[in-house]
Every structure is written in C-alpha cells, then in structure tokens.
Structure 1
Amino acid sequence: MTQWLDAAAFDEIEDEDVMRFDHGGHTYAIYRVEDNVYASDGLCTHEHVQLSDGLVMGHVIECPKHNGRFDVRDGRPLCAPVCEKLKTYPAKVEGGRILIEV
C-alpha cells in the first residue's frame, strides 16, 4: 500500500539543492530543481553514502564520496563508479509542503 508522506516545507530547500528525509527507518533524498521536486532513496547505490551531502547540478546529483552521478528524475546512473539505478519516488508540492509517495 502506498501513502503520501509530508516531508518538508517547499521553502526549506533551495533551488538546485538536496535535503535528507528520514521516515520509518528509511532515508530519502528530496531534490528541488527549477521549482520542481523529486525524491529518491537517500543512499548511493555504490557505497551507501548519504546523497544529501552531495552536489546538485541541474537534474543531476553527484555522490560526495566517489563523484558518481544520477539523474534525479528517474534515478539512472550517469557515470562510473555507479552502475545500479537509484530508486525514485513520486513527489509533489501541495499547500507549500513537499509530499512523497512511498
């Protein structure tokens, strides 16, 4: 069963930035790009490092450990050393709040 989680206020995250959201023993990463929001698992698929410590450039998140990159829109890996897709989740803004569907 899926549910929408209230993750944060839209104003809490800057454009081209990422924030960490923890819920139910799981860590998520929430991205804001050009006033759109995206969500993914919070750990890199390569070495399980927090992506919230990474750098967002356009629709790309760069892992802070080995500089692997993912497209935040669909989780696909863009360069080595990452080769496994990042799980993504639907995200939206309602009433100034960021909601993610898990």
Structure 2
Amino acid sequence: MNWIKIATVDQVAEDESLAVDVNGHQLAVHHTEGEFFVSDNICTHQYALLSDGFLEDGCIECPLHQAKFDLRTGKAMCAPATEDMKVYEVKTEGNEIFVRF
C-alpha cells in the first residue's frame, strides 16, 4: 500500500500526540524520544482517545484508566488493557509525516 501524508513535523511537539483521521481511520501521531509513531487512536480497553494520553518511556498511557501500550509494537503493557493496539509504519520526509497501512 502507498504512503499517505498525515501531518507535518511542526504539528506534533516533542512528548505530544496529535489526533488525525485518515480515510475514516482514527489515528494518533506520537512524537517522543526524537521519533514519530502512529497508532490507532482508540484504546483497546474502553473508548478513550490515546492522543489525549501521556507519553513516557516509549509508551502511551490511556487517559481514562491508565492502560499503557508500547509505541513500537503496540503491546498492551499493563491492566486493564489485555488487547494490543494497532501500530503502523511511519516515515518522515523533510517536514512531512507519512503512514502506511
């Protein structure tokens, strides 16, 4: 599948996340530790926007019940989440951020 531009680097400050809608998919772009990551924006435990969560140690923490997910693998790191989140391949070119499904 082709790369899709979803944001620009200057839209996502370090240690922040940005909600984006790509062809009906709710995604979150995360910027932490100098890297960008893209995941589904909905927590797998209960409906909450991960883009409103807290980034730390390569993980995103859900703002509702503090479930944590690894940004590289999507693995659910602690309860109450038991289902991994989906993560996507991401790249930057210049000031643009791209995702591939």
Normalized against structure 2, the TM-score is what? Answer: 0.94
Please show how residues 29-68 of structure 1 align to structure 2 within 5 Å. 29-68=28-67
Match of 1:84 in 2: 83
CA distance in 2, matches of 1:37, 1:92: 8
Question: 3-state DSSP class of the match of 1:47?
Answer: coil
Aligned residues: 101
Identity %: 36
TM-score (normalizing by structure 1) = 0.93
| Gap regions ≥5 residues in structure 1 | none
| Runs (4+) off by over 2 Å | none
Superposed CA deviations along residues 54-94 of structure 1, whole A, max 9, x for unmatched, are: 11113110001101000111100111000101111000110
1:25 Cα shift? 1.2
**CA RMSD for the aligned pairs?**
0.9
